[in-house]
Chains A and B, each alone.
Chain A
Amino acid sequence: MNYPENFHYTKEHEWVSVEGDVGTIGITDHAQHELGDIVYVDLPRAGTSVTQGKTIGSVESVKAVSDIYSPVSGEVIEANQVLAEAPEKLNDDPHGVAWLVKIRLASPEEIKNLLSAADYRTYIGVE
């Protein structure tokens, strides 16, 4: 699987892609694969304040619930409505159409705390 070079990754398997002062976040392909068939996604509403490393929602597969941790701090400006109706898209395109939320970044320097694509690949053990 391709882990985009311009994304920043967490050890909890989230990614963030930054454009201006807005970060789009999602879960990684590795995460969706580990979870299996995803059946439900619980996301924060627009306006919610989030903190780097804190829980902002959850992803449920057939067999388990997993928390989503925000890779950045800021304010949620949009949650991906596609996932309310079609959570299975997270299995199909976790780095694309199935992004989770867009966040207006409060502290862009936090990105330094995250992993590069190369480091993330090493972390999950793929070459």
Chain B
Amino acid sequence: MVFRGRLACYFGGSMVQSGTELKKTPLNSVHRRLGARMVDFGGWDMPVQYSGILEEHAAVRNSVGLFDVSHMGEIEVRGPEALQLVNYASSNNAAKLQVGQAQYSGLLYDHGGFVDDILVHKVDEDHYFICVNASNQEKDYDYISTVNLMKATVEFASDRYAQIAVQGPKALSTIQKLTKTPLETIRYYWFLDAEVNEVPARVARTGYTGEDGFELYVAPERAESTWDALLDAGAEFGIRPCGLGARNTLRLEAKMALYGHEIDATISPLEADLAWIVKFDKPDFIGKTALEKQKAEGIPRKLVGFEMKARGIGRDGYEVMDNGRPVGWVTSGGPAPSLGRNIGLCYVPTEIAQPGRHININIRNQPVEAQIVPTPFYKRAK
């Protein structure tokens, strides 16, 4: 048995050349103290697991889990033209946001493919805080700066924030022990600036797991004390530190896209089943013309969910077969611990992108039976 780039095959992203110094989050020494297994994730030295992916996954579904996601990037856009820039650079309609509200959106190229998928937070009328993917952050900053013809102020702010995700049905109770701010007043995809463990924190009710939960943005020098306080506060609920392994199984069950897998520069939001983040009725934005054309001409391929019907696991990059011919590829696939099934996402031609349709996944040159199913695979009880 050979232990191949374990995350390389799972998370994609740009794997750095060996010898390159890995980037570290402010919580790096904490992960090592906790005995995490560390991997090179797109140039970052990150924990893939602590106690085990299945146990961490279950903690988030049943109680609460803690994730260091400080590798994510932050970009701040300020000034009277801030909205104009954000709305031109991204595909969702930031004009609909109220102060304290967040929105999932696409940063698109002119041809309609993804530069990145992003979370736009409206901090103030003239201030937007954008959370972006770790491996795309420099590219995103350059891109937004380049298209900033309206002279808004664009700041690369990643160095000023650590990000900790607290996810699961006991996330609220865990954080509530550390703050006077009543967290139940924060609605899903809203945020506010509060004090957590006596430290200023941006508390957003967002996440990447399909559970209720929060993402906390704190100063890097406060990351360790915040992390430790959260672990203590969550102890009574059986809180678990969670790595990127569980983060991936959780987001896959919830059918949340991962850049480099479901989306990239060659994929449009219409193909990725993300038409809801494209607002054609707002003023001009980058990619609009290309997407209007794609919509008018028809979308050739679509992202769908599948479930394995025979023994085997369809993994990232495997071919999708229909009647013996290759028609698409698996973008993410693996076991769904909460469902006890093997699931995945794949691109197939639009004409066969129907739930119930039988397909085959080519697993090491063997076509293995699978079926297209409705998504998300997992939806929490409200």
Interface residues of chain A, those whose CB is within 8 Å of chain B, are 12-14, 27, 31, 34-37, 39-40, 42, 58-69, 84
B147 lies within 8 A of chain A by Cβ: no
Tell me the complex Cα distance, A67–B3, Å: 9
Q: How many of B's residues come within 8 Å of A, CB to CB?
A: 26
Tell me the complex Cα distance, A66–B311, Å: 16
| A contact face: mostly helix, strand, loop, or mixed | strand
Give chain B nearest CB distance to A122 CB in angstroms. 18
B49 touching A36, Cβ below 8 Å: yes
Tell me the complex Cα distance, A69–B52, Å: 25
Tell me the complex Cα distance, A63–B9, Å: 8
Tell me the complex Cα distance, A69–B1, Å: 6
B1 touching A27, Cβ below 8 Å: yes
Tell me the complex Cα distance, A62–B48, Å: 11
Tell me the complex Cα distance, A64–B10, Å: 7
Tell me the complex Cα distance, A79–B10, Å: 29
Chain B residues with CB below 8 A from A13, complex form: 1
In the complex, the 9 A-B pairs of residues with the closest C-beta atoms, listed nearest first:
A62-B53, A66-B1, A37-B54, A39-B335, A64-B6, A13-B1, A63-B10, A31-B1, A34-B3
B3 touching A66, Cβ below 8 Å: yes
Chain B residues with CB below 8 A from A61, complex form: 53
Chain A residues with CB below 8 A from B96, complex form: none
- Write the chain A residue with the least CB distance to B8: A64
When A37-B52, A63-B334 are in contact, do A68 and B312 touch as well, CB less than 8 Å? no
When A37-B52, A42-B312 are in contact, do A63 and B245 touch as well, CB less than 8 Å? yes
Chain B residues with CB below 8 A from A62, complex form: 53-54, 245, 249, 334-335, 337
Tell me the complex Cα distance, A42–B364, Å: 11
Tell me the complex Cα distance, A37–B334, Å: 12
A37 touching B315, Cβ below 8 Å: no
B120 lies within 8 A of chain A by Cβ: no
Tell me the complex Cα distance, A84–B7, Å: 25
Give chain A nearest CB distance to B367 CB in angstroms. 15
Q: List 17 A-B contacts (CB under 8 A).
A: A31-B1, A35-B1, A35-B3, A36-B53, A37-B54, A40-B313, A40-B342, A58-B364, A59-B1, A61-B53, A62-B53, A62-B245, A62-B334, A63-B7, A63-B10, A63-B334, A64-B9
Give chain B nearest CB distance to A56 CB in angstroms. 11
Known A34-B3, A63-B48, A63-B245; 18 more pairs at CB < 8 Å: A12-B1, A13-B1, A35-B3, A36-B49, A40-B313, A42-B312, A60-B313, A62-B54, A62-B249, A62-B337, A63-B53, A63-B248, A64-B9, A64-B10, A65-B9, A66-B1, A66-B4, A67-B1
